[in-house]
Amino acid sequence: MNTKLENLYREEFKKLSPVLKDYNLKSKRKKKATNPFLLSVDENQINSNNRIMIFGQETNSWCKECEHKSQFSGNISKSLEVYKKFYLKGGFKKYRGAFWNEFKRIKKEVQKKKNNSTFIWNNVNKIGRIGKGNITEINKIQFEHFQVIKKEIDIIKPNIIVFLTGPNYNNFIRKNIGEFTETKIIDNLNKISMDLNYTDIKMFKTFHPQALYRKKINKIVIGKLIEEIVKSCK
């Protein structure tokens, strides 16, 4: 899987690198594109019965280790190393923000009931900016020149996908993965259907945990999400 993922990124970077480098040359510091968000998997994920891919929104200033203080460098190997260190080797466990608090809660509770379950962290926005959030110009480049999420799904073959993204990121889902419809499970938690080759994948969508915290409904919504994930496991 890792070889296939790396080969995918190297092929896609042939198209992406010239465009992003040209964009960054013409942009001010706070509008420059950061390094794309690239995935790795470990042996447990490869052999698990249940591969659960959880999507967040985007990373902020991803891969400072890639040179130029997070500005796009084209360094695929270093970007993969950073993902391995932060996620696969547990660096994220030190983080206490809303997203990681709920990610860890989901992972812990599901694995209690379904111990042959592994989790893959992904983002619906694969190219962020220097700083927080996203901007139209970089989004356009991503939509036109870096379509990798469907191919990542084809390689990793998750059987459950969860979007912790909220409605403001629906456009990223549509542009980077595909059109979808939502069916309400409870308030603020929906089942997703996509008109793609993903009929065997169970998909769920709720707000980003920060929004759930503000609404004071994170315990109810994430609790129900965990229940739905466990029901969908093999």
Backbone angles phi and psi of 202, in degrees to 5: -80, 130
Whether residue 156 lies inside any domain: the answer is yes
State pLDDT tens for residues 102-159.
Answer: 999 999 999 999 989 999 999 999 999 988 889 999 999 999 999 999 999 999 999 9
- Domain with 164, as residue range(s), is 2-31+49-232
DSSP 199: T
pLDDT over 80 at 21, yes or no = yes
Whether residue 38 lies inside any domain: the answer is no
Q: Are 212 and 188 in contact (CB under 8 A)?
A: yes
- Relative orientation angle of helices 2-25 and 136-145, to the nearest 10 degrees: 140
Whether residue 42 lies inside any domain: the answer is no
Q: What is the pLDDT of residue 171?
A: 95
CA 143 from centroid of its chain's CA atoms: 15
Rounded-to-5 percentages of helix, strand, coil across the chain: 50, 20, 30
Whether residue 152 lies inside any domain: the answer is yes
Cα dihedral: 181, 128, 106, 47 (round 10): 90
Rounded CA gap, 36 and 25, in Å?
17
Domain count, the chain: 1
Whether residue 37 lies inside any domain: the answer is no
202 CB-near residues (< 8 Å, 6+ apart): 159, 160, 161, 191, 228, 229, 232
pLDDT bin (cut points 50, 70, 90) of residue 230 is: very high
Average pLDDT over residues 27-38: 91
pLDDT bin (cut points 50, 70, 90) of residue 178 is: very high
Give ∠ CA 196-11-142 in degrees, rounded to 5. Answer: 60
CATH number at 101 reads 3.40.470
State pLDDT tens for residues 60-118.
Answer: 778 777 777 788 988 999 999 999 999 999 889 988 889 999 999 999 999 999 989 99
Whether residue 219 lies inside any domain: the answer is yes
Whether residue 213 lies inside any domain: the answer is yes
Q: Where are the alpha helices (DSSP H) in 26-59?
A: 43-47
Whether residue 43 lies inside any domain: the answer is no
pTM metric for this prediction: 0.94
pLDDT over 90 at 45, yes or no = no
Q: What is the pLDDT of residue 63?
A: 76
Strand ranges across the sheet with 117-123: 117-123, 50-56, 160-164, 202-206, 189-194, 180-186
